[in-house]
Structure 1
C-alpha cells in the first residue's frame, strides 16, 4: 500500500518512518485491524494537524463506519447499512472533526483514486468570476469532497443569483446515476436544514447519492 517504501509489506503504512501494519494478508484476503488503524490515524493526524490532534473514544463509532466504507468491506458495510457505491455525507457540530477525518481517510487507502477536498464557499466565490463554468467543471467530472456545505453565500454573477452548490449537486446526481461516481460532503446542517437551504429537489437526490453519518449533537468541539 505504501509504494514509497522499498519492500514494504502489503497492508503497512508509515508515519514519520514508523510502520503501522493496518492489515495482514491471509489466504489471499487483507484482514484489517481497527485498533492499529486508530493508532495510524492518530499519528497521521498529529503529523498533519499538530500535536493537539486527538481521536477521542466518542469518535470511534464514526471512524469504524468510515474505515469500513473506504476499505470497501462490503460485508461490514452491509451490517452498518452503508452502500459502498454511494458517497459519504458526514454531518456534525462545528469543530467535531469532520474535515480532518475525511482528509485522513485518503491516507488510509493511498492505493485508491483520491478525492479533492474543496470548501463549498470557494466554489461560490469562483462563480462570481467564472459563472457557470464552475458548475460545469465541478458538476460534470472529478472526485470531490465538498467541505462545509450550507454555510456558503448565494452566488451572484452580473446581478443574477444562483444557488451554486445546489446546481453542482444536481449535476453530480446525473454523474452518479450514469457513471457511478460518488461525491462526499461535510456539513454542519441536519436533513431539514439542508432541505430548507437547497430545496426538496436537491434533498431528494441527496438521499440517493449519500450514506448519512452523523456525529452526536453533543460532540466535543476539538478546536477549543
Structure 2
C-alpha cells in the first residue's frame, strides 16, 4: 500500500498524529470514508488514479455530508502536511464562511468605508486555491433592504476567474448540491458542475 503511494502514508501518519493529539483516537478508514480518502489522496498525488475514481484534476472538490463525518479534517491534515513539506501544490487557504459574514458586517459598520456595492472583500477571496469551510453556515446579510449572499457572489466570481486562470475552489458543507441550489440559486448551482468534483461522506459523527 504505502510503497505504491508515499503520500498516502504521509497522509495517514499526519491524520493519526493530529487525532491522537486532539481527540485521543486514530484515523479510521471504513466504508463510509474509503472512497473520499482514496479520492483526496489521489487528487494531490496520483492523477491517473484520480481518473479511475471519476475525478478531474482541474476542478476543486465539494465535500458534503453530515456533521462530524470528517469533511474539514481532510484539509486540516493537508495543512499539517504542507507545514512539514512546504510543497506549493498542497497550499490551500482555509476561510470559514461565518468569518466572511463577520468581516463584511464589520466593514459595513465603518463610516466612509465600503459602500454596499464595494467589492474589496470579494476581491480578497476571488483568487487562489481556497477552501471555504462550512458552506451554508453563513447568514444572509440584509443591508438597507438588500439581501446579500456573500458565498453566492464569491462562487460566481471564482467561477469566472477559473475560466481565465488557475483558481481552484474547495468546499466542505452539510449541504448536498441540491440544497446548495435551494440556498444560492440555479445560476450558482449550474456553475458548480464546472468547478467541482463532488464527494459525499456518509455515516454518523466520528467525534467522540
TM-score band, normalised by shorter chain:
0.7 to 0.9
Does structure 1 residue 124 correspond to structure 2 residue 108?
Answer: no
2:122 counterpart residue number: 135
Structure 2: 5+ residue stretches without partners? 109-118
Choose between structure 1 and 2: higher strand proportion.
1
Say if 1:46 and 1:53, in contact at 8 Å, map to a contact too: yes
Contact kept, 8 Å, 1:128 with 1:156, in 2: the verdict is no
Aligned to 2:174: 188
Q: Which runs of 5+ in 1 are unaligned?
A: 1-21, 24-30
Task: Indicate the residue corresponding to 2:5 in structure 1.
Answer: 32
> C-alpha distance in 2, partners of 1:69/1:56?
17
Q: Deviations over 1:119-157 (max 9, x none)?
A: 111101111122532222112x23210000012110244
Decide whether the 8 Å contact of 1:121 with 1:151 is kept in 2.
Answer: yes
Aligned mate of 1:70, from 44, 51, 72:
44
- Find the aligned partners of 1:51 and 1:161 in 2 and give their Cα distance: 43
| 2:15 and 2:77 in contact (8 A); partners too | no
Aligned to 2:34: 60
1:181 deviates by 1.4
Mapped to 1, the partners of 2:21 and 2:193 lie a distance apart of: 32
Match of 2:114 in 1: none
- The structure 1 residue matched to 2:192, chosen from 181, 206, 217, is 206
CA RMSD, Structure 1 to Structure 2 (Å) = 2.3
Alignment pair present for 1:167 and 2:153: yes
CA change 1:47–1:112 in 2 (3 A) is farther
Q: Is the 8 A contact 2:61 2:199 kept in 1?
A: yes
> Normalised by the size of structure 1, how large is the TM-score?
0.77
Which gives a bigger RCO, structure 1 or 2 (Cα 8 Å, sep 6+)? 2
SS in 2 for 1:152: coil
TM-score, structure 2 normalization: 0.83
